Amino acid sequence: MIDANKTAKHVAIRIRNLRGTETQKDFAKKLGVSPQAVSDWENAVKMPRMGVIEKLSELYNVPKSYIIGEGSYIPEPKKPVLFQNGQILVMSDLPEDAVREVESYLSYIRSKYNLS
Provide mean pLDDT across the span 8-17: 89
Question: Which residues have C-beta within 8 Å of that of residue 89, sequence separation ≥ 6?
Answer: 80, 81, 82, 83, 102
How far apart (Å, rounded) are the C-alpha atoms in residues 75 and 17? 9
Provide mean pLDDT across the span 35-55: 94
Residues 22-40 have pLDDT tens digits of: 999 999 999 999 999 999 9
**Helices 35-42 and 24-31: crossing angle, nearest 10°?**
110
User: What is the set of domains in the chain, with CATH numbers?
Assistant: 4-67 (1.10.260.40), 80-112 (no CATH)
The answer, as to whether pTM is greater than 0.75, is no
Residues 82-113 have pLDDT tens digits of: 566 666 667 777 788 887 888 888 889 889 98
How far apart (Å, rounded) are the C-alpha atoms in residues 73 and 64? 10
Residues 55-89 have pLDDT tens digits of: 998 888 888 888 887 766 655 555 555 566 666 66
Task: Render the burial of 83-95: b for 16+ CB within 10 Å, e for the rest.
Answer: eeeeeeebeeeee
Across the strands, what pairs with 84?
Answer: 87
